[in-house]
């Protein structure tokens, strides 16, 4: 006859076997909050809206966020408190991150032109040691994207937000140009494999 202790030990052993047979839980994608990004506040503006009951004052914050490698994004946040507006802008920037195509010289592969609103921007590749020759929010976006050698020129309006968005659009167009070149011919594919840094995804993640 089996004692009660032997029966319980056998029951525990069978339970352990059933749990061990189950597949382990797969790890999901890394959340944005766990990845460390550098944040730079470009502008904090007080906005007053005239309503029927009087004037309503809010704050608008523009934050550029990036990991100094290949990810960058621009976020906008509006709230009645400055800190809350900054938090909203950071969250908005993390949701709209793009992947930047970088060469082995930490530069851009091609000359690219883009516009947003009344702002126009041109990016040109540069040699090692040139640095980021740009101004305003354009320089901040390029630095946080991990680009270390580039020549940039902005035309038209001096709007901080529109210039930052024009830079993001130019980097997105570069992504599309690289992907299109790789699919067009083997010669271009070999060229990009030679000059570009290795990373999994070239397309934008916005």
CB-based burial label for 56 (10 Å; 0-12, 13-18, 19+): exposed
The third-level CATH classification (topology) of the domain covering 32-98 is Double Stranded RNA Binding Domain (3.30.160)
125 in Cβ contact with 109 (< 8 Å): yes
Element housing 188 (H / E): helix 186-195
Domain residue extents for the chain = 32-98, 100-195
Domain formed by 100-195, architecture = 2-Layer Sandwich (3.30)
Per residue in 148-191, pLDDT (tens digit) is 999 999 998 899 999 999 999 999 999 888 888 888 888 888 88
Per residue in 98-109, pLDDT (tens digit) is 999 888 888 999
Mean pLDDT of 52-72: 90
Q: What is the dihedral of CA 154, 160, 165, 169, to 10 degrees?
A: 10
Per residue in 65-78, pLDDT (tens digit) is 998 888 999 999 99
Q: What is the pTM of this model?
A: 0.75
- CA dist., res. 203 & res. 100, Å (int): 8
Q: How many helices and strands in the chain, by DSSP H and E?
A: 5, 8
79 in Cβ contact with 59 (< 8 Å): yes
């Amino acid at each position: 006859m089996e004692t009660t202790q032997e029966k319980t030990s056998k029951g525990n052993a069978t339970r352990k076997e059933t749990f061990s047979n189950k597949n382990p839980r797969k790890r999901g994608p890394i959340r944005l909050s766990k990845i460390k990004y550098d944040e730079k506040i470009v502008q904090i503006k007080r906005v007053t809206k005239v309503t029927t009951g009087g004037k309503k004052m809010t704050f608008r914050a523009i934050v550029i966020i990036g990991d100094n490698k290949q990810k960058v994004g621009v976020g906008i946040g509006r709230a009645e408190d400055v800190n809350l507006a900054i938090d909203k802008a950071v969250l908005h920037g993390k949701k709209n991150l793009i992947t930047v195509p970088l060469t082995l010289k930490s530069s851009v592969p091609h000359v690219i032109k883009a516009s947003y609103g009344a702002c126009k921007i041109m990016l040109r590749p540069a040699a090692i040691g040139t640095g980021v020759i740009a101004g305003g929010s354009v320089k901040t976006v390029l630095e946080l994207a991990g680009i270390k050698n580039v020549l940039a020129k902005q035309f038209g309006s001096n709007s901080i937000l529109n210039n930052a968005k024009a830079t993001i659009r130019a980097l997105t167009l570069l992504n599309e140009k690289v992907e299109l070149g790789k699919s067009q011919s083997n010669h271009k594919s070999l060229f990009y494999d030679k000059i570009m840094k290795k990373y999994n995804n070239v397309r934008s993640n916005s």
